Amino acid sequence: MPKIKSHEALVRQRKRWVTLAVLVALITAGYQWWKQGKLVFEQWSPNQQYVVREFRTFEFIPRMTMPGDGGHYSGYMRVYNRDGKQFYEEYSDLLDFIEGPFWAKEGVYWMGNDNQDIVRLPTSPVE
């Protein structure tokens, strides 16, 4: 016959589950805040249909740089259309070393990031 748990044991178990749920909610909210980042750069396409925005994310561990080098930062590059729909997102550790964006007939691309391919867009951003 299974042993019946006492009321105190059930209360302790319920407190553990509530604590775990609160912890998961805090971690999720913290990640969403971190990923959102702070807008540092914005460039519109020549025909004003698309925009590239760079967002700087919070650094939990500060980076050491050489004197006069300035602070390097990491973050996200995101491509949106004029209505705010997001088409592309890429994370970069050294966002300030990336050159671009460069607008082409097929889409947009950068130099110095992990993904060297062109981001294809539904319509041409330069016409």
Where do the domains of the chain lie? Answer: 7-36, 37-59+71-120
pLDDT reported for residue 19: 92
Kindly state the tokens that stand for 58: 């919070």
pLDDT reported for residue 61: 66
Q: How confident is the model at residue 83 (pLDDT cuts 50, 70, 90)?
A: very high
Residue at 95: amino acid letter: L
Kindly state the tokens that stand for 23: 């912890």
Tell me: pLDDT of 3 over 90.
Answer: no
Tell me: pLDDT of 105 over 80.
Answer: yes
More confident residue, 55 or 1: 55
